[in-house]
Amino acid sequence: MTLSKEQEKRLSTIKVLSKDFHFSDQSIWYRVAYRTSSNIPIRVEIKRNFYDNQSWAYVYAFDHVHVAWNIIVDLPFTKELKCFGSSGEHGLKNICPFEDDEVTLIMRALDLLETSTEKK
């Protein structure tokens, strides 16, 4: 995926804390933890299972008040996702579809967080 200048600029404002890509329990797991410029911990999590209904693509934000991770972005697991065609351990050979979906998820999360910050 080629990023626009605007996407590059927005992604440069968040810090990657950790990244994990592995196969476990018949699923491909892709997780990235970030800290936003406003110091909000967020986490992208994509789980690709053999069964579509057991797969998901979420972004969580940490709520310091309730000390909990809350889902703020939930993309339907459909053919619109780049990682839809990935499955099984052979899906680990190509991280690119997951990274592309990560950008989609994180952009939506940043839109939401920026909107909620502006309202305060």
Write the pLDDT tens digit of every residue in 65-115. 999 999 999 998 888 888 888 876 666 678 888 999 999 999 999 999 988
pLDDT at 58: 97
**Predicted confidence (pLDDT) per residue in 23-43, tens digit:** 888 889 999 999 999 999 999
Q: Which fold has domain 5-119?
A: ornithine cyclodeaminase, domain 1 (3.30.1780)
Which amino acid does the sequence have at 105? L
Identify residue 30 by its one-letter amino acid code.
Y
DSSP for residue 44: E
∠ at Cα 117 (115, 120), nearest 5°? Answer: 115
Domain segments of the chain: what residues? 5-119
pLDDT on residue 108:
94
Which of 8, 13, 22 lies closest to 42, judged by CA?
Answer: 13
Phi first, then psi: what are they for 95, rounded to 5°? -80, -15
CA-closest candidate to residue 1, choices 87, 107, 112: 107
